[in-house]
């Protein structure tokens, strides 16, 4: 039996906070308590219930919309073999097995995931995954803080706004300063002042995302790498769209000591905010600071290959408040899906899929900017997302609302996070985007632009 | 096993050897034996000023990660580089080759809070940990 507190523990805690009993502590005051039975309709036969839920599901008409939404969550094709294998009963468990070594198959799968993450990022060591890319960034920042003993993080404003928000949430509790680097007119991070910012050796890390939130390739150059190295600042590379690693240079190649990001694109569908699969990889020098679970390959007492959880002595069940992190959870099943996806498509398939993303996005951008009044917001090369400026006098939000009337989700209004970009839409195209999708979008956008012009003419 | 003479000891099982104004610090044979196979030692940065009994690093064995509390304060002059590639030196020779770091001593009075070999022997015999 698992008994977290003894009766005397509980009494002592109640006495400390002045509560008479556990029942009193959690008692809902009469003023807000629901009196009588809950207002739930009576039970119906299962067949009827399915029919009813199917009718509800039909009201989700947006599932049939043509979508150009991205911004950290991406629609990609998933070969049927992925779910056929991943949904096998042996892999479905409510939680990480506590006697992890019993589950050799799972540990092997996680070990393979770690290997893929190392191959894709170019770094030495990766963990078993964390909740999502944003969490991975926050944990990566903590690694840099622990490595350097410094208490500030410098992060590009072109890093995903949600990732930066999660980073700030972590930073508040840990009393870390988070400062930002501006974005230049080309849509990539402006590093021109970096030398000065890093000079006082106050920053544990400088955080850059590529492709960045605007879709632009934002891998820092040699000068950034040199400034970071000269000041002992850890370069953290964020990859919010793992598919990009099929064609773009690895974070390690542009100097990242720690790479963090989101692996949802590999076989995991987009579904109302998750679940996601965050990854963390680092150079060997940071090995003992990587949070969460790590699977290692070893041999058992009969000399057979065996997989085992390793470096556990730093996790919270052993090291308590001094653990490297409070994260013990990994997204085992999401990482398994991603692993099977990568195994199924292979290096060649991944490259082909990534090239398709690139081609469709270029086609999307070319077709949209050919419409009178629409233009690329930034000149920097992109992977599978592009920021489009709408015609003068229009707001992104109005254009998107108009597109929705045509059953098109046209993208994301950048004004939500960047008020100065309220006339810009972030549009995404993947291998799932068809030429016909782009045709439909362009027809609708011509309509929007035409209406805007005629309205302007009337003013 | 009696504790080596000429050293001072902390209740946290570190030893201090004073050589002029330099203190050499390590963990005791009792400590390494309790920890088991040591796989990693994280030491303070050279040049850093540390305070007596402050937590300044960790010793990681296959079964636990334990804090290192310095028996004496001062500036860290040198760390034992050999431990980077061979942390098990601490297991093999805790009082010798397995030393951890050297400190520039600042306050001789700090040593009054440490134990002599006899007192440390008694502490270990008690089994206090």
Residue B102: left if φ>0, alpha if ψ -120 to 50, beta else—which one? Answer: beta
Q: Could you tell me where the beta strands, DSSP code E, fall in A225-315? A: 234-239, 258-262, 278-282, 294-299, 305-310
What gap in Å lies between CA A385 and CA A15, rounded to an integer?
A: 57
Which member of B45, B65, B67 has the closest CB to residue A318?
Answer: B65
Q: What is the pLDDT of residue A176?
A: 97
Please state the rounded mean pLDDT for residues A128-143: 95
Please state the rounded mean pLDDT for residues A361-371: 97
**Per-residue pLDDT band at A456 (split at 50, 70, 90):** low
Q: What is the pLDDT of residue A452?
A: 64
Please state the rounded mean pLDDT for residues A355-384: 96
List the single residue in A with minimal CA-CA distance to B41.
A288
For residue A47, pLDDT beyond 80 = yes
- The helix (H) or strand (E) run that includes residue B68 is strand B65-69
List the single residue in A with minimal CA-CA distance to B40.
A288
Rg (CA), chain B: 13
List the single residue in A with minimal CA-CA distance to B60.
A313
Stronger pLDDT, A315 or A129, i.e. the higher one: A129
**Rounded to two decimals, what is the model's pTM?**
0.85
For residue A459, pLDDT beyond 60 = no
Helix (H, G, I), strand (E, B) or coil at A308: strand
Contact: B64, A314; criterion CB under 8 Å: no
Q: What is the pLDDT of residue A279?
A: 97
Q: What is the pLDDT of residue A98?
A: 62
Residue B12: left if φ>0, alpha if ψ -120 to 50, beta else—which one? Answer: alpha
Please state the rounded mean pLDDT for residues A250-275: 94
For residue A210, pLDDT beyond 80 = yes
**Per-residue pLDDT band at A390 (split at 50, 70, 90):** very high
**Per-residue pLDDT band at B1 (split at 50, 70, 90):** low
User: Which residues, 6+ apart, have CB-to-CB distance to A185 below 8 Å?
Assistant: A378
Alpha-carbon distance A132 to nearest alpha carbon in chain B (angstroms):
28
Other Cβ atoms less than 10 A from the Cβ of B87: the count is: 20
CA dihedral A332, A337, A339, A345 (to 10 degrees): -170
- Domain architecture of chain B: domains with CATH: 11-105 (2.40.50.100)
Residues of chain A with CATH 3.40.640.10: 80-341
- CATH architecture of structural domain A80-341: 3-Layer(aba) Sandwich (3.40)
Q: What is the pLDDT of residue A122?
A: 98
- Chain B residues close to A319, C-beta within 8 Å: 64-65
Q: Whose structure tokens read 């998107």?
A: A400
Q: Using an 8 Å Cβ cutoff, are A100 and A312 in contact? A: no
What's the mean pLDDT when you consider all of chain A? 92
Angle of the A133-148 helix axis to the A161-174 helix axis, nearest 10: 40
Residues of chain A with CATH 3.90.1150.10: 63-75+346-451
* CATH fold for domain A63-75+346-451: 3.90.1150
Q: What is the pLDDT of residue B24?
A: 96
Q: Using an 8 Å Cβ cutoff, are A286 and A262 in contact? A: no
User: Which residues, 6+ apart, have CB-to-CB distance to A41 below 8 Å?
Assistant: none
Taking the alpha carbons at both ends of chain B, their separation in whole angstroms is 17
**Per-residue pLDDT band at A283 (split at 50, 70, 90):** very high
Q: What is the pLDDT of residue A455?
A: 64
Q: Using an 8 Å Cβ cutoff, are A198 and A154 in contact? A: yes
Please state the rounded mean pLDDT for residues B39-47: 90
Rg (CA), chain A: 25
């Amino acid at each position: 039996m698992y008994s977290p507190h003894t009766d005397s523990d509980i009494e002592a805690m109640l006495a400390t906070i002045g509560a008479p009993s556990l029942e009193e502590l959690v008692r809902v005051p009469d003023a807000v308590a629901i009196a009588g039975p809950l207002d739930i309709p009576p039970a119906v036969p299962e067949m009827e219930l399915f029919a009813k839920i199917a009718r509800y599901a039909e009201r989700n008409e947006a599932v049939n919309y043509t979508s150009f939404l991205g911004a950290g969550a991406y629609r990609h094709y998933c070969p049927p073999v992925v779910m056929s294998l991943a949904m096998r009963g042996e892999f479905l468990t409510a939680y990480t097995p506590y006697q992890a070594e019993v589950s050799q198959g799972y540990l092997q799968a996680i070990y393979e995931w770690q290997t893929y993450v190392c191959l894709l990022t170019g770094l030495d060591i990766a963990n078993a995954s964390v909740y999502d890319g944003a969490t991975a960034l926050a944990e990566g920042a903590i690694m840099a803080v622990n490595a350097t003993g410094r208490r500030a993080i410098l992060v590009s404003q072109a890093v995903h706004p949600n990732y930066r928000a999660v980073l700030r949430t972590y930073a508040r509790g840990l009393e870390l300063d988070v400062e930002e680097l501006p974005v230049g007119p080309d849509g990539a991070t402006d590093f021109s002042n970096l030398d000065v910012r890093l000079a006082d050796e106050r920053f544990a890390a400088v955080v850059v995302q590529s492709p960045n939130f605007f879709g632009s390739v934002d891998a820092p150059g040699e000068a950034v790498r040199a400034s970071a190295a000269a000041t002992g600042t850890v370069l953290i590379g964020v990859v919010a769209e793992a598919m990009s690693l099929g064609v773009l240079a690895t974070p390690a190649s542009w100097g990242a000591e720690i790479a963090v990001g989101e692996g949802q694109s590999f076989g995991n569908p987009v579904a109302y905010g998750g679940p996601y699969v965050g990854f963390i990889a680092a150079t060997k020098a940071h090995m003992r600071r990587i949070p969460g679970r790590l699977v290692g390959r070893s041999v058992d007492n009969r000399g057979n290959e065996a997989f085992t959880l390793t470096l556990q002595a730093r996790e919270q069940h052993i090291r308590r408040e001094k653990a490297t992190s409070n994260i013990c959870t990994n997204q085992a099943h999401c990482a398994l899906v991603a692993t099977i996806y990568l195994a199924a498509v292979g290096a060649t398939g991944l490259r082909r899929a990534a090239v398709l993303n690139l081609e469709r996005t270029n086609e999307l951008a070319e077709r949209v900017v050919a419409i009178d009044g629409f233009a690329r917001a930034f000149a920097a090369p992109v992977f599978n997302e592009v920021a489009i400026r709408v015609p003068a006098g229009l707001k992104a939000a109005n254009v998107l609302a108009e597109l929705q009337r045509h059953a098109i989700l046209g993208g994301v209004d950048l004004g939500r996070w960047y008020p100065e970009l309220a006339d810009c839409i972030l549009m995404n195209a993947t291998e799932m985007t068809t030429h016909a999708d782009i045709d439909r979008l362009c027809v609708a956008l011509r309509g929007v632009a035409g209406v805007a012009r005629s309205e302007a003419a009337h003013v | 096993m009696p504790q080596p003479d000429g050293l001072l000891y902390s209740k946290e099982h570190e030893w201090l050897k004073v050589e002029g104004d330099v203190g050499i610090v390590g963990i005791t044979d009792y400590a390494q034996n309790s920890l088991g196979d040591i796989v990693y030692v994280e030491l303070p940065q050279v040049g850093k000023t540390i305070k007596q009994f402050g937590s300044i690093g960790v010793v990681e064995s296959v079964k636990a990660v334990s804090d290192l509390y310095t028996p004496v304060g001062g500036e860290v002059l040198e760390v034992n580089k050999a431990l980077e590639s061979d942390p098990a030196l601490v297991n093999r020779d805790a009082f010798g080759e397995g030393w951890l770091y050297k400190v520039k001593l600042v306050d001789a009075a700090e040593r009054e809070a440490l134990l002599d070999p006899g007192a440390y022997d008694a502490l270990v015999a008690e089994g206090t940990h």
